């Protein structure tokens, strides 16, 4: 098994650190031709992996039918990250990489197994008790057992909460919050964002900046390229917002264009 793992690591893509994109989030990152690497090469700060507990393995995929036993959280993310860290940094300046682990089944059992796995990567991780400026911050999202994780004094992970979790009382452990775009906004990227919706977004951003948290919206309008680019451009005005995308190069171009303004 060790020889097989070594052989697989040798075949990993060549990696060169990029300038970090502090608002860039790779949604469903495992769909990329080169999971993790395609996002890192562009400088994305965070990546997202959906995880199913199958027997004792943490398999990565969008649905059960798409799972492959070889595609585990370790093989696609933790082992390559350790391989990179052994010789260089993830970015051109000290920056945490955020790895969102989205629980898709059996939250308590998945957390138990994840704790066991992550214990073997302590040297890689930035944790609530031991932050590392250039480490990997694992953030649980989806169906994780919230009360159990918050009660775990040795937890190696942070949590992704809801917008109601914005606030200093939660920020040490709940470092990000998320919301369904359609629940809070009617604007679909056409024309100007309504003033009332922009005011809500500004207030959430200001609170998140005060507490050191980040905000992530999902289900953002994307019926056309013009719509998704307009939404991205609007969100990039708010530094506390992580902007998620499937089209990584396209989002990076929007980020670069915004920086020139």
Closest CA to 80 of 6, 28, 29: 6
Q: What's the pTM value of the predicted model, to 2 decimals?
A: 0.93
Q: How far apart, in whole angstroms, are the C-alpha atoms of residue 141 and residue 94?
A: 25
pLDDT one-digit tens code per residue, 156-165? 999 999 999 9
Per-residue pLDDT, 261: 79
Whole-Å CA distances, 7 to 4, 32, 82, 202: 5, 21, 15, 49
Closest CA to 41 of 86, 104, 84: 84
C-beta separation of 254 from 232 below 8 A: yes
Element spanning 47, H or E:
strand 44-54
pLDDT one-digit tens code per residue, 198-221? 999 999 999 999 999 999 999 999
Q: How far apart, in whole angstroms, are the C-alpha atoms of residue 101 and residue 27?
A: 11
- As a whole-number percent, the residues of the chain with pLDDT over 90 amount to 89
Lowest-pLDDT choice from 54-58, 191-195, 245-249, 256-260: 256-260
């Amino acid at each position: 098994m060790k020889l097989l793992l070594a052989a697989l690591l040798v075949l990993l893509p060549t990696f060169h650190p990029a300038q970090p994109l502090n608002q860039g989030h790779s949604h469903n990152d495992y769909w990329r031709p080169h999971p993790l690497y395609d996002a890192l090469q562009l400088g994305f700060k965070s990546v997202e992996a959906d995880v199913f507990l199958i027997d004792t393995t943490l398999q990565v995929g969008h649905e059960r039918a798409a799972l492959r036993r070889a595609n585990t959280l370790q093989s696609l993310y933790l082992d390559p990250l350790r391989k990179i860290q052994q010789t260089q940094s993830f970015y051109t300046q000290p920056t945490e990489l955020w790895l969102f682990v989205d629980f898709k089944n059996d939250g308590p059992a998945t957390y138990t197994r994840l704790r066991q796995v992550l214990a073997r990567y302590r040297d890689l991780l930035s944790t609530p008790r031991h932050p590392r400026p250039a480490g990997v911050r694992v953030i649980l999202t989806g169906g994780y057992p919230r009360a159990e994780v918050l009660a775990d004094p040795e937890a190696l992970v942070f949590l992704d909460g809801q917008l109601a979790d914005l606030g200093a009382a939660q920020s040490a452990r709940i470092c990000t919050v998320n919301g369904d775009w359609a629940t809070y906004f009617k604007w679909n990227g056409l024309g100007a964002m309504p003033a009332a919706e922009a005011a809500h977004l500004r207030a959430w951003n200001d609170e998140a900046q005060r507490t050191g948290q980040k905000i992530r919206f999902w289900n953002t309008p994307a019926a056309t390229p013009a719509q998704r680019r307009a939404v991205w451009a609007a969100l990039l005005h708010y530094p506390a917002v992580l902007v998620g995308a499937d089209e990584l190069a396209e989002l990076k171009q929007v980020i670069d264009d915004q920086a020139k303004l």
